Structure 1
Amino acid sequence: MKISARNQLKGTVKEVKLGAIMAEILVELATGEELVSVITRNSAVSLDLKVGDTVAAVIKSTEVMIGKE
């Protein structure tokens, strides 16, 4: 898969929660950190996402916030 977005994090699907309209996908990165993506249920079904699948989380954003305490 070739795409223009450079911010890609490869990981493994750890959990798939299908809702009526949306799906929550938990991805574990190689570092052990986790991230959650909320996508449409149709997209999750179309991609046939399952626990154990290797995926790329693609981050395309015009705004990234950073906080510090």
Structure 2
Amino acid sequence: MDWRDDGIVLSTRKLGESSVRLSVLTRDYGRHAGLVRGATSKSMRGTLEPGNEIRVGWSARLAEHLG
């Protein structure tokens, strides 16, 4: 299952040393959670603040899996 859409960042939760679990609300697919690797880097920190609009690419084997 792969898709791309525009979305709004709802929340982030630290997962490991440099990754976060991202919750995003998209127009076509609703609320989804995904793993963002390297999200604690200086360039990504400001992008993943709650309320920001981002372009999301989601990829998982099944629809129930974390993208």
TM-score (norm 1): 0.61
Instruction: Report the number of matched residues.
Output: 59
Runs of 4+ aligned residues of structure 1 deviating over 3 Å after TM superposition are none
2:51, 2:26 → 1: CA distance?
Answer: 12
1:32, 1:7 → 2: CA distance?
Answer: 9
Pick the structure with more strand per residue: 2
2:29, 2:35 → 1: CA distance?
Answer: 20
1:44, 1:55 → 2: CA distance?
Answer: 16
Q: Which residue of 2 aligns with 1:24?
A: 21
User: Is the 8 Å Cα contact of residues 34 and 58 (structure 2) preserved in structure 1?
Assistant: no
Question: Identity of paired residues, percent?
Answer: 10
TM-score (norm 2): 0.62
Shift of residue 18 of structure 1? Answer: 1.7
Gaps of 5+ in 1: 1-5
2:59, 2:32 → 1: CA distance?
Answer: 15
Root-mean-square deviation over aligned CA pairs = 2.8
